Amino acid sequence: DGQATVSEEFTIGDSTYPVGAQLESVFNFDVFRATYSYAFLQNERLRLALGLGVYVLPVEYQLDIQTTGNRTVAEGADVTLPLPSIAFRGEFQIIPKLFLNLSVDGMYLEINNFTGGLLDGTVALEYQPWKHVGIGVGYSGLLVNVEGDADTDYPGGDFVGRVRVDYNGLLLYGKVSF
């Protein structure tokens, strides 16, 4: 959420907003993911797997602009988008108890007036002091780009606008497997 006062005149579509207009913005974005992968190659030192998954992305955004005596909502949406994905997983044992893990999930689809793309990747170094417990450090990134029109048949794609989210960074984690 954010607030600001316009210091320079600007235009959105056919509307021009003057200096001094008050802006209020909201942007909420969450990611829920479920993936199943099957190892097509596996031995004591290597595991390679392919899989299918689904990402569920609740997205809310809104821009309110208030000028003297007039309030305008320029853009906004509150939708939940399901995005299917394909997955690749790789685990490589470097030395006993130390592993290099790679994962990439991705998808792209165009349906009617909806376009969605997603790329999610992680590379990590994981230490497993015990058989079912690990700790790791890695680098992770996610890029999501969705564009919708109210006249689409895609579930959750009944919004007008474009949302692009790109984030990446350091990943520290603990793992328990069974």
- pLDDT, position 23: 85
DSSP codes, 111-166:
ETTEEEEEEEEEEEEEEEEETTEEEEEEEEEEEEEEEE-TT--STT----EEEEEE
Mean pLDDT per block of 10 residues along the chain (178 residues) reads 86 78 87 95 96 92 79 73 94 96 95 90 96 95 88 75 89 91
- pLDDT, position 21: 83
> What global pTM score does this model have?
0.78
- pLDDT, position 51: 97
- pLDDT, position 104: 98
DSSP codes, 12-60:
ETTEEE-TT-EEEEEEEE--EEEEEEEEEEE-SSEEEEEEEEEEEEEEE
